[in-house]
Amino acid sequence: MISKLPRWVEYGSFLLALVAGLVNAIGLLGFKHQSISHLSGTATLLGVGVVDSTFAEVFHLFTILVSFLIGAAISGYFLRTGALKLGLNYSKLLCLEALFLLTAVYFLSNDSLLGHYLASTACGLQNALATTFSGAIIRTTHVTGIFTDLGIMLGAKFRGESFDKRKALLFMLIILGFILGGSLGAFFFVILKFQALYIPALICLLLALSYSIYNTKYGRASSEKLNG
């Protein structure tokens, strides 16, 4: 599947992982030390909270999970294919992700939990977007699966099987993007607090613009070729 994806997917995946790392770092520093871009820790906290936390805290954690699910459902509704295809709603979804993040800044700056939910929705939307266009191979909001896949590839290599260098490069770029995003998120949170979310929102808008330009140029050429 990776070999069928265009080369720019590597750069897009790196930038999306950077966005997720930024959002997650800001979440860890500002959202009651909760992860936002992935839900394993949040689900564990929910399970623990059922036993020893208040109803309000349990409800908050539950809503974080539901918000991520809603974001993924939005992508699932607009992207009705499991393969990358020019002309689909990637730009619109990236703009919507940016809108969620920008709106989250307002509510977080006013101590509203709605900001947490909007940020989680943005991450769910992004992760589903990347999952859909890659055929469930690429995840950009967490790296557990990426490390697992790399380990499987290394094990197969040691067994004598071929090693997909492009796939490994893509995974390494996602890991690097996520870590770098975490560093940038921590740095800018100290300076800007929740307004640091403007940075991942801007990256999403730039990605949307870049994809729109690419789609206009190459999508039209592809259509003319088919019609010709």
Return the structure tokens found at 101: 């993040």
Task: Give dist(CA 142, CA 165) in Å, integer.
Answer: 21
Q: How confident is the model at residue 159 (pLDDT cuts 50, 70, 90)?
A: confident
Determine how many CB atoms are found less than 10 A away from the CB of residue 157.
13
Task: Give dist(CA 221, CA 223) in Å, integer.
Answer: 5
pLDDT in tens, 166-193: 888 888 988 999 899 999 999 999 999 9
Q: How confident is the model at residue 47 (pLDDT cuts 50, 70, 90)?
A: very high
Mean of pLDDT over the chain: 82
Angle ∠(119,124,127) on CA atoms, nearest 5: 125
Please, are residues 36 and 27 in contact by the beta-carbon 8 Å criterion? yes
Helix residue ranges, H only, 7-113: 8-30, 40-52, 55-78, 90-109
The whole-model pTM stands at 0.83
Return the structure tokens found at 129: 């977007």
- Which of 16, 41, 64, 23 has its CA nearest to residue 189? 23
Task: Give dist(CA 201, CA 16) in Å, integer.
Answer: 11
